[in-house]
């Protein structure tokens, strides 16, 4: 990983982070008491568990990525209180709460603060705390949520070890791993292949715990480097298992609050999206596998933006791939409440209100990573500027210009303090055929060149002013889904039926308000995909200018026009779209209707898993 601040957002991504700063992240402490001035983490008598640390874990990187003085001032207030709370024994944080878990989150936030500021107090602070932890863990072992989430603690210990090389830190890692759930065993003997029973509150199936647990494989490989490939395969198989039994079309696995199967009206919690992204970022950093980066982009450009309003002022607790109404009503959740899919300040439960903020800033921090050979690797594509210094002292500024994922071309320009030889690794997504690269206008041959784990390596002596252009042709593809349903994708973007939206603010709701959303247009369409026609024949891609906000509903930068068949028998069941009809037939007199598909991340109401409508001949 490169330090916080080495990569700055640009273009549409800068605008997205500005919306976040102007929305909930930038004002949460003013409108939500749990992270307000009375938080126990700020010396008050209010909430003193995970919500303050969760908020800092997104606020701090956002503030320093944007160099926003208003947000930096807010962030520093949390940092100073955390540092000043440390006692002579090394313990820190609210004295009313001795739980190890929230301190893990605050340590992650402090690491980002250190990387942005180089404040020398942070390593000393963490060293004292980890000595305290090593001395007390045997008598006060990890408990409750910390048992499933202990690898967040391990992450912070390894980070400090890279700074100080203190031997006792490796002893602490061993103790933490002994007390943390073995996620390797969990996935090797995966027992939760069905939607979990309603009302069953089993922390082994809690969707956020599972998303966090996936990062364990990165740290197994760090400890056991001789078997690195084995741990990589185990990580791939773990994610494949989750997607096989609980995967959804937008790249997430379901959980509302617990693992809920593959049905497109089961929800997935926003906390799980941002934690799955963070785990993938750790796996990419350790293994350099493009497959994980493909999934990271799927989450970042589909699942993350759709569950937050385009202006970043309200969010859902649960999103559904087939989501046709967002109202306070009973739905088929495993555990969650009736308000879980409305948009608001803190629908259902406040963990997502506190934790959602890390998604976009940590994506920015993971767009590029360092590689062996003093190289640079493009992990996910988005407009940004990277500034770094190579081992030989060469200063490198790399500007990445693109509207990706809304366009097919990514352009890179380099400025160097002196010429330098190093590899630039570019990810070729698994969905892309016939990618092409030019350097200073000259095409290089990558056709037939097998990418290593999804990356190609451009090894050369780079000069200031060099330009690289990567073209990633995007073809419409159909994604097979359970019950013979169909998803539609173009590049990293999943597409969904555009449904007219009617937003109603609920009375007397705080902050930017709580909102219900109801459909204004028909939603119950199926798709017919004759076997003698290719997706290129069935779907017409239209592109236009990228307007702000980037994930707005009205004017999307890319859309797909196709034909759909209305299915009157497909209707609401328990206030959600009913089960996808698995055997829909075209009546003899049926006529197709023109429908528009828009990016999933732009559609707060949508159908993203369509019934496959068959003709009599197909049947």
Q: For residue range 5-59, what is the model confidence (pLDDT) as tens digits?
A: 999 999 999 999 999 999 999 999 999 999 999 999 999 999 999 999 999 999 9
Residue 447 pLDDT exceeds 50: no
What percentage of the chain has pLDDT greater than the value 90?
93
Cα–Cα distance, 467 to 439 (Å, whole number): 6
Structure tokens at 406: 């809304």
Interatomic CA distance for residues 185 and 204, integer angstroms: 12
Note the pLDDT tens digit of each residue in 24-38: 999 999 999 999 999
Tell me how far apart the alpha carbons of residues 317 and 267 are, in angstroms, rounded to a whole number. Answer: 9
The residue behind tokens 């992650």 is: 108
Predicted confidence (pLDDT) per residue in 508-546, tens digit: 999 999 999 999 999 999 998 877 788 888 999 999 999
Closest CA relative to residue 387, chosen from 114, 2, 1: 2
Spatial distance between the Cα atoms of 390 and 419, rounded to a whole number of angstroms? 11
Tell me the backbone φ, ψ of residue 154, rounded to 5 degrees. Answer: -60, -45
Residue 450 has pLDDT above 90, yes or no: no
- State mean pLDDT over 421-444: 95
* Pairing label, strands 593-599, 572-573: unpaired
Instruction: List b or e across 603-616, with b for residues whose CB sees 16 or more CB atoms inside 10 angstroms.
Output: bbbbbbbbbbbbee
Kindly give, in sequence order, each residue whose CB lies less than 8 Å from that of residue 464, ignoring residues fewer than 6 positions away: 414, 415, 416, 417, 419
Q: Is 448 left (phi over 0), alpha (psi -120 to 50) or beta?
A: left
Identify the bridge partners of residue 515 per DSSP, sorted by sequence position. Answer: 343, 505
Average pLDDT over the chain reads 96
Q: How far apart are CA 243 and CA 16, in angstroms?
A: 28
Query: Which is nearest to 66 in space by CA: 17, 108, 117?
Result: 17
The kind and range of the H/E element at 153 are helix 145-164
If residue 117 lies in a helix (H) or strand (E), which one and from where to where? helix 100-117
HSE (side-chain half, CA atoms, 13 Å) at 481? 32
State the pLDDT at residue 451.
66
- Mean pLDDT of the region 54-75: 98
**pLDDT > 60? residue 143:** yes
- Determine the 3-state secondary structure of 144 from DSSP: coil
Percent of the chain whose predicted confidence (pLDDT) is above 70: 98
316, pLDDT greater than 60? yes
CB 267 within 8 A of CB 340: yes
Place of tokens 């185990």: 234
CA 457-378-364 angle, to 5 degrees, is: 170
User: Which residues fall within 8 angstroms of residue 184, CB to CB, at 6 or more apart?
Assistant: 216, 217, 220, 234
CB-based burial label for 330 (10 Å; 0-12, 13-18, 19+): exposed
| Overall average pLDDT of the 355-374 stretch | 96
Could you tell me if 272 and 255 are in contact, meaning their C-beta atoms sit under 8 angstroms apart? Answer: yes
Average pLDDT rounded to a whole number, residues 131-157: 98
Long-range CB pairs of 551-554, under 8 A, 24+ apart, other chains included: 551/16, 551/305, 551/306, 551/310, 551/599, 551/601, 551/602, 552/310, 552/602, 553/310, 553/498, 553/501, 553/598, 553/602, 553/603, 553/604
Q: Is the CB of residue 142 less than 8 Å from the CB of residue 102?
A: no
Angle at 316 between CA 481 and CA 236, to 5 degrees: 45
Give the residue among 71, 33, 35 at the shortest CA–CA distance from 52.
Answer: 35
Burial class (CB in 10 A: 0-12, 13-18, 19+), 520: exposed
| 267 has pLDDT over 60 | yes
242 CB neighbour count, 10 Å cutoff: 23
Distance CA 172, CA 177 (A): 9
Q: Residue 29's CB: how many other CB atoms inside 10 A?
A: 20
253 φ/ψ angles, rounded to the nearest 5 degrees:
-110, 145
- Burial class, 590, CB count within 10 angstroms (exposed 0-12 / middle 13-18 / buried 19+): middle
pLDDT band per the 50, 70, 90 thresholds, residue 616: low
The answer to whether residue 588 scores a pLDDT higher than 80 is: no
Q: Would you say residue 560 has pLDDT above 60?
A: yes
pLDDT, one tens digit per residue, over 271-300 is 999 999 999 999 999 999 999 999 999 999
Pairwise CA distance, residues 30 & 192, whole Å: 41
Do 601 and 608 meet the contact criterion of CB atoms below 8 Å apart?
Answer: no
Distance CA 458, CA 520 (A): 50
Q: What's this model's pTM, rounded to 2 decimal places?
A: 0.97
pLDDT for the residue 531: 74
pLDDT reported for residue 584: 80
CA distance 619 to 617: 5
Yes or no: say if 9 and 367 are a contact pair by the CB < 8 Å rule: no
């Amino acid at each position: 990983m490169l330090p916080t601040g080495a990569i700055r957002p640009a273009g549409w991504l800068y605008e997205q982070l500005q919306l976040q700063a102007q929305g909930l992240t930038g004002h949460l402490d003013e409108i939500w008491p749990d992270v307000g001035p009375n938080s126990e983490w700020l010396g008050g008598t209010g909430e003193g568990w995970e919500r303050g640390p969760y908020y800092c874990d997104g606020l701090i990187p956002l503030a320093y990525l944007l160099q926003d003085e208003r947000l930096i001032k807010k962030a520093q207030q949390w940092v100073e209180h955390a540092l000043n709370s440390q006692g002579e024994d090394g313990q820190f944080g609210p004295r009313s709460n001795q739980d190890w878990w929230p301190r893990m989150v605050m340590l992650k936030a402090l690491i980002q603060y250190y990387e942005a500021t180089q404040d020398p107090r942070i390593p000393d602070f963490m060293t004292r705390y980890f000595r305290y932890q090593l001395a007390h863990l045997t008598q006060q072992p990890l408990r409750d949520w910390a048992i499933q989430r202990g690898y967040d603690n391990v992450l912070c210990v390894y980070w400090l070890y890279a700074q100080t090389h203190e031997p006792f830190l490796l002893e602490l890692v061993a103790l933490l791993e002994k007390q943390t759930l073995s996620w390797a065993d969990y996935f090797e003997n995966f027992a939760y292949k069905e939607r979990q029973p309603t009302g069953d509150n089993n922390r082994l199936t809690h969707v956020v715990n599972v998303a966090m647990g996936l990062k364990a494989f990165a740290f197994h490989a760090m400890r056991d480097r001789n078997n690195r490939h084995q741990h990589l395969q185990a990580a791939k198989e773990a994610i494949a298992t989750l997607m096989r039994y609980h995967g959804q079309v937008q790249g997430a696995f379901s959980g509302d609050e617990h693992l809920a199967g593959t049905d497109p009206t089961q929800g997935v919690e926003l906390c799980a999206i941002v934690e799955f992204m963070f785990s993938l970022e750790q796996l990419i950093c350790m293994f350099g596998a493009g497959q994980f980066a493909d999934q990271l982009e799927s989450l970042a450009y589909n699942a993350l933006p759709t569950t937050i309003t385009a202006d970043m002022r309200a969010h859902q607790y649960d999103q559904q791939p087939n989501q046709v109404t967002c109202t306070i009503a009973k739905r088929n959740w495993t555990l969650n409440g009736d308000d879980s899919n409305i948009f608001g300040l803190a629908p259902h439960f406040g963990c997502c209100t506190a934790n959602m903020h890390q998604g976009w800033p940590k994506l920015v921090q993971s767009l590029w990573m360092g590689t062996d050979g003093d190289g640079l690797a493009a992990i996910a594509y988005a407009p940004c500027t990277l500034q770094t210094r190579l081992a030989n002292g060469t200063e490198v500024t790399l500007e990445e210009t693109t509207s990706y994922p809304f366009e097919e071309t990514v352009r890179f320009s380099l400025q160097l303090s002196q010429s330098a030889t190093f590899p630039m690794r570019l990810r070729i997504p698994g969905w892309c055929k016939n990618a092409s690269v030019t350097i200073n206008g000259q095409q290089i041959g990558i056709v037939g060149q097998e990418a290593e784990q999804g990356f190609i390596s451009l090894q050369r002596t780079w000069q200031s002013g060099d330009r690289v252009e990567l073209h990633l042709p995007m073809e419409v593809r159909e994604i097979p889904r359970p019950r013979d349903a169909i998803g539609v994708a173009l590049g990293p973007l999943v597409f969904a039926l555009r449904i007219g939206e009617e937003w109603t603010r609920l009375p007397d709701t705080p902050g930017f308000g709580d909102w219900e959303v109801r459909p204004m247009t028909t939603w119950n369409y199926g798709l017919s995909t004759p076997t003698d026609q290719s997706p290129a024949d069935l779907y017409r891609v239209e592109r236009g200018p990228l307007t702000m906000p980037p994930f707005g509903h009205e004017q999307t930068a890319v859309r797909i026009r196709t034909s759909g068949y209305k299915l009157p028998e497909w209707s609401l069941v328990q206030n959600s779209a009913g089960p996808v009809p698995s055997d829909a037939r075209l009546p003899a007199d049926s006529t197709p209707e023109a429908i528009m598909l828009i990016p999933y991340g732009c559609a707060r109401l949508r159908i993203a898993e369509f019934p496959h409508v068959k003709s009599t001949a197909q049947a």
